[in-house]
Amino acid sequence: MCSVATSAVFTCALAVAFPASAADTLRDLAQSAGIHVGAAVDIATLAKDPDYARLLAREFNLLTPENAMKFSVIHPERERYDFSEADALLAFAQVHGMQVNGHVLVWHQQLPDWLTQGNFSRDELKTILHEHIRTLVTRYRGRVASWDVAAEAVAEDGRPRETFWSRGIGADYLALAFHWAHEADPQARLRYNDYGGEGGGAKSDGVYDLVAALRWQGAPIHGVGLQMHVGIEDAPRAAEVRINLQRLAALGLETDITEMDVMLRQPTTRVKLRAQAGIYRDMSQAS
C-alpha cells in the first residue's frame, strides 16, 4: 500500500494506473483505489499561499509536516515546546478531512543546540527523549494516525548508523522510542523510515536486519517507510522492490512509499516525463 508521497507529481503514477476523467482529482483516484496519497507540508507556505492550500485540500487525503514536528522546531528549549506550526497543520487537516502522518520522533539531524551541546548522561538523555516522545504523541493522540518513530538509522553500507542518540543512549534507543510512542498512543501506527532500501543491496539488507531485530525484541513496530528518492536513471527494479516488500511482510510489517520523488535532468522532454511517469506507476503497483 502506498500511503504517503511528498510530491504532487505522484499524480503521474495514478493517472497511468487508473482510468480517469478530466474531473478526477488525485485524491478521488486514491480513495477509489483504497489508498492514501499525501504531501509534505511547509507551514509558512500554507499560511501565506491560498493556491498552495487549495491544491493540498483538493489533491491529497494525507499530510506530513515537512519540519513542524522535528525536534529543533517543536522542542527549541529543554523546558519549552512550540506547537504552533504542528497545531496549524492539524487544524487544516481536520477541516479538510485529511489524515496526518507525524514526522519524525527520533532522527540524528535537526536537533537543537541545547540538546547536542548539553553534555547529558545516558539516563538524562533517556529521560529527555522519553519526555519528548510522550509529550508530542500524547498531545496529538487520536488525531495523528501514524508516526515516523525513527528515520535513517542505517548507514549506506547497511550497518547501524552512529548518531547522537546511539552514542548517548546505546543501540536500544530505537526499541525504547517505539515502546514510548506506543505507550503514548496505543492506536497509532508506528513506522521506521529510511532511504535507499527499496530494492536489493546492503542498505536494504541493513534496514531488514534492523526492523527484524526490533520485531524480535518485541518493539511495537507496524511498518517500514521506503522514502524512494530516485531518478529516471537509477530507479530500483520493480521485481526487486516486490521481493523486498515480501520479506518485510513475512515479518508482519506493512510497507509505505513515504517520500517519493523521481528526479530528471533539465531540459525536460516528453520522453523523460514518460519515463518518470512509468517509474511512479511501476513503484505504486509494486507496493
Write out the catalytic residue numbers: 152, 259
The Cα–Cα gap between 136 and 181 comes to 9
198: exposed, middle or buried (Cβ count in 10 Å: 0-12, 13-18, 19+): buried
Cβ neighbours of residue 173 under 8 Å, at least 6 residues apart? 106, 129, 165, 166
Cβ neighbours of residue 249 under 8 Å, at least 6 residues apart? 255
- 140: which 3 cell numbers? 496529538
The Cα–Cα gap between 75 and 134 comes to 12
Coil, strand or helix at 102: strand
Q: Which residues pair with 223 in a beta bridge?
A: 191, 254
Cβ neighbours of residue 181 under 8 Å, at least 6 residues apart? 105, 133, 137, 147, 149, 188, 190, 220
Cβ neighbours of residue 117 under 8 Å, at least 6 residues apart? none
| AA identity, residue 254 | E
Report how far apart, in Å, the C-alpha atoms of 177 and of each of 77, 122, 129, 205, 209 are: 20, 14, 8, 22, 18
User: 110: left (phi > 0), else alpha (psi -120 to 50), else beta?
Assistant: left
Report how far apart, in Å, the C-alpha atoms of 24 and of each of 30, 59, 63 are: 10, 9, 20
